[in-house]
């Protein structure tokens, strides 16, 4: 399709060339030559260039069809129900921000920001994530505590890998707690939320890795990494879920100029995984214990595990020193949920080519987040800090998995919730159908009729089968005379006469699930 767009563009330009020559009364020879080029381009299109434009969505984007929307709605409902259960409010922000609001927040990835054309007025960019607009919102409204979720589309001029669920326009689904609170209580709630959502969505077994930026920084310090290399070495550690330790070490030593000894020491630490016990052991570790930062992080990990035990979720949580996460702005605990089952092969393939640390940090990553206590202060004129901790649900990957599951399931995805079709068995009963369906709508019943004066009964019944409508109210002359409606159950073909007076309660009784 991309090629077709290029040809279309070439046709447009060539068309202008021809028009210009004609208007300039150029020689017939010259005109003919350019017209020939134009025809050749049109021939390449295959349809004689009759199409005025290419019928497609922009690169890296897609329409959602009704079936995809039905799945999307189901996933959103599960997630929103969880956020609401935890008392979250919701906000919304514009799809674009002042360009300068986004400047300096995304490091190298800034090149992926979509800018709007300068049509006079402010310079604007499409939002790149929901976290920076959230921080801008807090600073602008001087809000110091809030628990909010925000589900909306964000935009990245990334290399799309659409078959693997990666788009230039995609949803983010964020839950954050802002405010000065006692240590690890909101952090533990974020992990409880991830646990609840992944359980409820039934995506298969999962694991939630946790670590702390202060532990990583302390570890780098005691291993002899120079201060100014913390962030870049951290980025390299972050690749451990996609690269072997050997390759990571090579990058540290060869590309980033770390000593082999320091790299080996890091290598020892980042291979460690465990629970509260590991945190306790590292607090005793003769090297790690030299870093105040690391000790603060380790104590918080211990506290976090204590709270997670009370939430009964420690079975899925692992303290993993190799977890680093891509974004610069994390300042404390970080975490990431991964699906551990087979069946996430496609996700694994994707991760291989992935350069986007935030969206698909590891094989089957479906949620991630952490504490970022400094971001809001970047927006506040007086630099006031608003500590924040949050989690982002990897909703696009979850959509893909749910779509694959729906595809594999024998059960059909219904795209409407229609309970009953109002049908007629004979001709000339449109008015009676309209009257009846109006009664049903007014009673809150989801009902459809065919937009034909005299539809065949068979085609009405077939429509119900296809659309999964469970009931049919059939009107015929006899039924009208008797003051009844023939109620047909589509699945069993059972039919029973119901009096008009009882119809609504009978439909409700039969369709309440």
Residue 1 CB neighbour total at 10 angstroms:
9
We find the least distance from the C-beta atom of residue 445 to a second copy, in angstroms, to be 7
Kindly provide the residue ranges of all beta strands, DSSP E only, lying in 242-377, ordered along the sequence: 273-274, 317-320, 333-339, 365-371
What is the distance between the alpha carbons of residues 157 and 163, in angstroms, rounded to a whole number?
17
**DSSP assignments along 282-328, one per residue:** HHH-TTGGG-HHHHHHHHHHHHHHHHHHHTT-GGGEEEETT---S-T
Name which of residues 330 to 359 contact a second copy (CB under 8 A). none
Torsion sign (Cα): 351, 357, 362, 368: negative
CA distance 422 to 460: 9
Angle CA(168)–CA(170)–CA(172) in degrees, nearest 5? 135
Pick 243 or 413: Cβ nearer a second copy? 413
Contact call for residue 136 and a second copy (CB under 8 A): yes
Q: Which is nearer to a second copy, 124 or 487 (CB)?
A: 124
Contacts to a second copy from residues 266-325, by CB under 8 A: 306-307, 310-312
Among 19, 30, 66, 277, binds a second copy (CB under 8 A): 66
Q: What is the radius of gyration, based on Cα positions, of the chain?
A: 30
Judged by beta carbon, residue 124 or residue 282, the one nearer a second copy is: 124
For residue 89, which phi and psi values (nearest 5 degrees)?
A: -90, 175
Q: Total binding residues for a second copy by CB under 8 A? A: 98
Stretch that binds a second copy, among 368-376, 413-421, 473-481, 494-502 (CB under 8 A): 413-421
Binding of residue 101 to a second copy (CB under 8 A): yes
Q: Which of 34, 174, 186, 320 binds a second copy (CB under 8 A)?
A: 186
State yes or no: residue 97 binds a second copy (CB under 8 A): yes
Count Cα atoms within 13 angstroms, Cβ side, for 295. Answer: 9
The least CB distance from residue 361 to a second copy, in Å, is 25
Least distance (Å) between residue 298 CB and a second copy = 20
Does 220 participate in binding a second copy (rule CB under 8 A)? no
- The region of 67-75, 246-254, 278-286, 347-355 touching a second copy under the rule CB under 8 A is 67-75
Interface residues for a second copy in 1-20 (CB under 8 A)? 5, 8
Distance of CA 463 to the CA centre of its chain: 33
CB of 411 to a second copy, least distance (A): 18
Interaction residues for a second copy, span 103-132 (CB under 8 A): 103, 114-119, 121-122, 124, 126
Q: Which is nearer to a second copy, 72 or 229 (CB)?
A: 72
Contact residues for 350 (Cβ-Cβ < 8 A; gap 6+): 161, 164, 165, 166, 360
């Amino acid at each position: 399709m991309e090629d077709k767009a290029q040809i279309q563009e070439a046709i447009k330009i060539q068309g202008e060339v021809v028009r210009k020559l004609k208007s300039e009364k150029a020689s017939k020879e010259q005109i003919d030559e350019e017209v020939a080029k134009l025809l050749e381009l049109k021939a390449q299109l295959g349809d004689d260039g009759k199409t005025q434009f290419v019928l497609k969505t922009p690169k890296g984007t897609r329409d959602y069809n009704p079936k995809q929307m039905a799945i999307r709605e189901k996933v959103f409902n599960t997630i929103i129900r969880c956020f609401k259960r935890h008392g979250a409010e919701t906000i919304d922000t514009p799809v674009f921000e002042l360009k300068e609001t986004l400047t300096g927040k995304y490091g190298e990835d800034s090149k992926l920001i979509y800018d709007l054309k300068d049509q006079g007025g402010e310079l604007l960019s499409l939002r790149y994530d929901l976290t920076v607009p959230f921080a801008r919102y807090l600073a602008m409204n001087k809000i110091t505590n809030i628990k909010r979720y925000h589900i909306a589309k964000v935009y990245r001029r990334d290399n799309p890998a659409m078959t693997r669920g990666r788009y230039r326009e995609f949803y983010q689904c964020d839950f954050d707690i802002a405010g000065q609170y006692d240590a690890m209580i909101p952090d533990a709630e974020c992990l409880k939320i991830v646990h609840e959502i992944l359980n409820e969505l039934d995506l298969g077994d999962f694991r939630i890795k946790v670590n702390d930026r202060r532990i990583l920084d302390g570890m780098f310090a005691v291993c002899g990494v120079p201060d100014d290399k913390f962030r870049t070495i951290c980025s390299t550690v972050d690749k451990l879920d996609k690269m072997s330790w050997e390759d990571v070490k090579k990058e540290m030593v060869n590309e980033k100029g770390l000593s082999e000894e320091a790299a080996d020491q890091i290598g020892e630490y980042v291979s460690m995984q465990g629970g509260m016990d590991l945190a306790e052991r590292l607090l005793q570790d003769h090297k790690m214990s030299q870093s105040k930062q690391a000790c603060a992080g380790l104590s918080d990990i211990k506290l976090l595990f204590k709270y997670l035990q009370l939430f009964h979720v420690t079975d899925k949580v692992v303290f993993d020193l190799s977890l680093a996460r891509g974004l610069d702005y994390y300042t404390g605990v970080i975490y990431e949920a991964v699906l551990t089952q087979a069946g996430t092969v496609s996700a694994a393939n994707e991760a291989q080519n992935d350069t986007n640390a935030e969206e698909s940090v590891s094989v089957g990553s479906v949620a991630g987040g952490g504490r970022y206590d400094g971001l809001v202060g970047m927006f506040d004129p007086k630099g006031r800090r608003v500590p924040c901790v949050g989690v982002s649900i990897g909703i696009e990957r979850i959509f893909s998995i749910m779509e694959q599951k729906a595809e594999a399931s024998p059960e059909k995805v219904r795209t409407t919730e229609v309970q009953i079709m109002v049908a007629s068995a004979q001709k000339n009963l449109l008015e009676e159908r309209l009257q009846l369906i109006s009664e049903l709508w007014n009673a809150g019943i989801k009902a459809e009729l065919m937009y034909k004066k005299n539809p065949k009964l068979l085609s009405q019944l077939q429509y119900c089968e296809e659309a999964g409508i469970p009931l049919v109210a059939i009107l015929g002359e006899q039924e009208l005379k008797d003051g009844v409606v023939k109620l047909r159950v589509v699945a069993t073909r059972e039919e029973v006469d119901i009096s008009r007076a009882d119809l609504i309660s009978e439909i409700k009784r039969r369709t309440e699930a």
